């Protein structure tokens, strides 16, 4: 049944060649989001993985912006809270921020300084891992807050870009891998 569920999710990921620049094959999850049965299957798969892997999780931290689409329904299913990790300048109050390198430039991420307490167990969620810069930056922010990062979890991993290597010793899981 797991393979059938994975296929249902994979069938809703659409490739776009040469976006956002020539030579890049973009993996678009828009069809997955439009299909309620496929999206429910995605959340089922992520929930099953987390329940089997971790007896206690305090928060799902979702990355701006597609992690915001996956993280809240997953957190709701697990009965835990959701913490946004946003692009700089989008969060009120005291924040922690970090600059990092993207595939196509530089960016900054922020988290509210009181988003998690030291020792709380967090899973970081996003739609895709490419070069790993954004996920690595999110890990750095949560480590500054002294959270225990249980895992970095994504729907899609672009294996040739070796982004998971940037996560050092932080556990990583992807549902779908593309070469």
Q: Is the pLDDT reported for residue 95 higher than 80?
A: yes
Q: Is the pLDDT reported for residue 105 higher than 80?
A: no
Residue partners of 153: CB distance under 8 A and separation at least 6: 46, 49, 50, 123, 124, 125, 126, 172, 173, 174
Q: Is the pLDDT reported for residue 91 higher than 70?
A: yes
Q: How confident is the model at residue 122 (pLDDT cuts 50, 70, 90)?
A: very high
Tens of pLDDT, residues 46-70: 999 999 999 999 999 999 999 999 9
Cβ–Cβ contacts within 10 Å for residue 132, how many? 22
Q: Please check whether residue 62 is in contact with residue 72, taking contact to mean a CB–CB distance below 8 angstroms.
A: yes
**Rounded Cα–Cα distance for residues 120 and 126 (Å):** 19
CATH architecture for segment(s) 1-177: 3-Layer(aba) Sandwich (3.40)
Selected residue with higher pLDDT from 24 and 75: 75
Q: What percent of the chain has pLDDT over 70?
A: 98
Secondary structure of residue 111 in the 3-state scheme: strand
Alpha helix locations (H) across the chain?
2-10, 30-34, 36-53, 67-78, 133-144
Are β-strands 121-129 and 105-112 bridged in parallel, bridged antiparallel, or unpaired?
Answer: unpaired
The pLDDT value given to residue 158:
95
* Residue 48 exposure: Cα atoms within 13 Å on the Cβ side: 11
DSSP annotation of 77 reads H
Enzyme catalytic residues: 66, 103
Calculate the average pLDDT of the chain: 95
């Amino acid at each position: 049944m797991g393979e059938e569920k994975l296929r249902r999710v994979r069938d809703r990921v659409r490739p776009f060649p040469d976006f956002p620049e020539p030579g890049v094959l973009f993996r678009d999850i828009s069809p997955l989001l439009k299909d309620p049965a496929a999206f429910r299957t995605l959340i089922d798969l992520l929930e099953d993985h987390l329940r089997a892997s971790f007896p206690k999780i305090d928060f799902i931290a979702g990355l701006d912006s597609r992690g915001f689409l996956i993280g809240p329904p997953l957190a709701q299913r697990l009965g835990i809270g959701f913490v946004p990790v946003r692009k700089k300048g989008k969060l009120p109050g005291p924040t922690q921020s970090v600059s990092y390198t993207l595939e196509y430039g530089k960016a900054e991420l922020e988290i509210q300084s009181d988003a998690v307490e030291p020792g709380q167990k967090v899973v970081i969620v996003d739609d895709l891992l490419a070069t790993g810069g954004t996920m690595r930056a999110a890990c750095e922010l949560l480590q500054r807050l002294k959270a225990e990062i249980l895992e970095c979890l994504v729907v899609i991993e672009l294996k040739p870009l070796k982004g998971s290597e940037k996560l050092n010793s932080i556990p990583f899981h992807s549902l779908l891998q593309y070469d």
